[in-house]
Amino acid sequence: MAEGRWLVEMRGIVKRFDGVEALAGVDFTVGYQEVVGLLGDNGAGKSTLIKVLTGVLPPDAGEIYFDGRPVRFRSPREARALGIETVYQDLALVEMMSIARNFFLGREPVRFIGPLPVLDMVEMERTTRRVLEEIGIRVRSVWEPVSVLSGGERQSIAIGRAVHFGVRLLILDEPTSALSVRETRKVLGYVEEARRRGLSVIFITHNIYHVYPVADRLVILSHGRKIGDFRKGDISPEAVAELIAGGAILPEEGRP
């Protein structure tokens, strides 16, 4: 593998829980400006792999490289500091807080009044309004609570936030599984927009049809092993669905 080809390179990742191997030596890569669909049935090891990558769980064996450098994150904060942001399905935003406060949560713009850091509400309002307009979401006020937004709008804002703050790797955990077809299409549009702006994306789902339109590459896990790694053109969505359901390794196409 050529140097500098991958933004993320995980090699031989092993993770055991009480002696059971949740990940049995998984290799996983994400290229620059690449959207990778991470697929598998429930319990296949998708979440565990992502938790190892983002520092939530330490691996029992294996190496992780980010931007060519070996890394071992001890907490999600460390991963975040390097530009890895995870958007969880139902946990992307704090419902009772306003849209603008959510947008800037953890990265608030401040002015100092003496030693006291005070929120720059003008900047918060302006930027949030601009990003909402770019996404095409209309609200009465950016100070309305997030609960007035639909599920798709929330996912879109979470993605818009990652793009705005110059995140390098965006991990989306089942972003479309609770959405209508129309909303799903919109969210997929923002995933493409994110890639255009230079981000790499890991799109976790158990439904190939949710990710197929935007994915560059499809990685399929089953029982803690990688059973497929395809460029999109090399496999049909039906074949991937078959793989996820059956967990059988196709003889020729199984390895890249």
Partner 1 sequence: MGPETVEAPSTLAARRRAPAARLAALRRSPEVGALAGFLAVFLGFSAVAPHFLTLDSLAGIMTIAAELGLVAIGVTLLMIAGEFDLSVGSVLGVSAMAFALMARAGAPHLVAFLAALALAAAIGALNGWVVTRGRLPSFIVTLGSMMFWRGVLLAVTGGFPIAYEGTSALFFALSGRLPGGFHASALWFLALALAATVVLTRTPFGNALFASGGNPQAARALGVDVDRVKRIGFVLTAVLAALAGIIQFARFGSVDPLRGEGVELEAIAATVTGGTLLTGGYGSVIGTVLGALIVGMVRNGLVLAGAPAYWYRAFIGLILVVAVIINLRIRRR
List residues binding partner 1 (CB under 8 A).
76-77, 80, 86-88, 91-97, 101, 104-108, 110, 116-119, 121, 138, 140-141, 143-145
Minimal distance, residue 97 CB to partner 1, in Å: 5
d(CA 14, CA 30): 18
Q: Which is nearer to partner 1, 50 or 243 (CB)?
A: 50
Minimal distance, residue 101 CB to partner 1, in Å: 6
Q: Which is nearer to partner 1, 65 or 88 (CB)?
A: 88
Strand partners, 37: 203, 218
d(CA 124, CA 21): 45
Minimal distance, residue 72 CB to partner 1, in Å: 19
Question: CB under 8 Å to 216, separation ≥6 — which residues?
Answer: 31, 34, 35, 36, 231, 232
Output phi, psi for 145, to 5 deg.
Answer: -70, 150
Q: Which is nearer to partner 1, 172 or 218 (CB)?
A: 172
Minimal distance, residue 66 CB to partner 1, in Å: 17
Minimal distance, residue 186 CB to partner 1, in Å: 19
- Cα torsion 9, 12, 16, 20: sign: positive
Question: CB under 8 Å to 99, separation ≥6 — which residues?
Answer: 128, 132, 139, 142, 143, 144, 145, 146, 149, 157
Q: Which is nearer to partner 1, 53 or 92 (CB)?
A: 92
Q: Which is nearer to partner 1, 140 or 182 (CB)?
A: 140
Q: Which is nearer to partner 1, 97 or 250 (CB)?
A: 97
Are β-strands 84-87 and 169-173 bridged in parallel, bridged antiparallel, or unpaired?
parallel
Per DSSP, the three-state class of 131 is helix
Minimal distance, residue 114 CB to partner 1, in Å: 12
